[in-house]
Amino acid sequence: MSDVTSYALHPEWGGYIVAYFYLGGIAAGAYFMAAIIELIGNPEDRALARTAYYIAFPLVVICGILLILDLGRPERFWHMLIYSKAGMPIFKYWSPMSVGAWALLIFGGFTFLSFIDALVESRQIKRGKGGERLIYTGFLGRGFAFIGSLFGFFIASYTGALLTATNQPIWSQTSLLGALFLASSASTGMAALLLIHNLRRHRIEARDGSPLQKLQHADNWTMLLELILIGLIIFTLGQNVAAPLIKGHYGKVLWIGVVLLGIVLPLILHVLPILGTRGSEVLAALLILLGGFLLRYVFVMAPQGLYFSFLKGLTP
């Protein structure tokens, strides 16, 4: 372990990156679900899709700001997209940061257009007779939803893949982080939609076969997938390598904050609404969102804690 650690380059990622991974995951997960609704959903599901568009675009904007703030020289953020000597756009396919910056920019364009479309449909922006959609009509609308969902899918999994692309211990020793972050993004995106619609005064009824119930069932399966992926990551890493994740401070956060509070308890509340239907759904959604943040906190910070421990051991 020490031999590997001694050659690892420490990325020094902190709160800005954790928040970026988290909020970007919610935006991508919500948008991905909205795109699925556009492609195969029913007209009664449209309210959920609009809510997804309302939250995805602002969250992507915040993600861009967080990435800029995390740079050593925030005022030079444009260098990730523009070749300064020629003043032309540049795509560095070999650089995970460049790929991510372009993906976020393009995904932001999709979320912006969908955001405007949702405002037009809900008549908060008047166009013609009102309520006429700008984008999501006919074959072209379905194509837009499909392509947008691909970028949402990429953003959701990219954050985990970005960690794997480094030579940091733990991150570079598993190929499942992208899948875990994708599952967590889907779960937190659905939880955000469930939370908003359960807090609304005129909420969608969660009857059998209703949009909310279908979304809740999908979230249950996604949380089960998260549990499986967490178990697989720990198993494939081995107890010694995974020790920073499963022991000490980060271990407590993982087992209590992520697994127990963020996954197991919401599953129980979905099956047994002991606080009443609305109360249980609201609490479950809040716990899922908390668990999604803590998951990223653990998997971003724990390996870096291992690096600091190694450096401390070198200090005379």
- Residue 88 has a pLDDT of 66
Query: What is the pLDDT at residue 95?
Result: 66
Q: What is the pLDDT of residue 92?
A: 67
- Distance in angstroms (rounded) separating the CA atoms of residues 198 and 99: 37
Nearest Cα residue to 55 out of 114, 129, 133: 114
Output the pLDDT for position 185. Answer: 94
What pLDDT is recorded for position 7?
37
Number of H helices, E strands in the chain: 11, 2
As to burial, measured by CB atoms within 10 angstroms (0-12 exposed, 13-18 middle, 19+ buried), residue 235 is exposed
pLDDT on residue 194 = 92
User: What pLDDT, on the 0 to 100 scale, is given for residue 292?
Assistant: 96
pLDDT mean values, one per 10 residues, the chain (316 residues): 42 80 93 88 83 94 85 60 64 68 87 90 64 73 86 83 77 88 94 90 56 87 96 92 90 96 96 86 96 94 65 40
Cα–Cα distance for residue pair 232/44, rounded to 1 Å: 38
Domain that residue 282 falls in: 2-314
Residue 217 belongs to domain with CATH number: 1.20.1630.10
Q: What's the pLDDT score for residue 83?
A: 63
**Predicted model pTM:** 0.84
Quote the number of domains for the chain: 1
| Structure confidence at residue 1 (pLDDT) | 41
Tell me if 117 sits within 8 A of 53, measured CB to CB.
yes
Q: Residue with structure tokens 């399966």?
A: 221
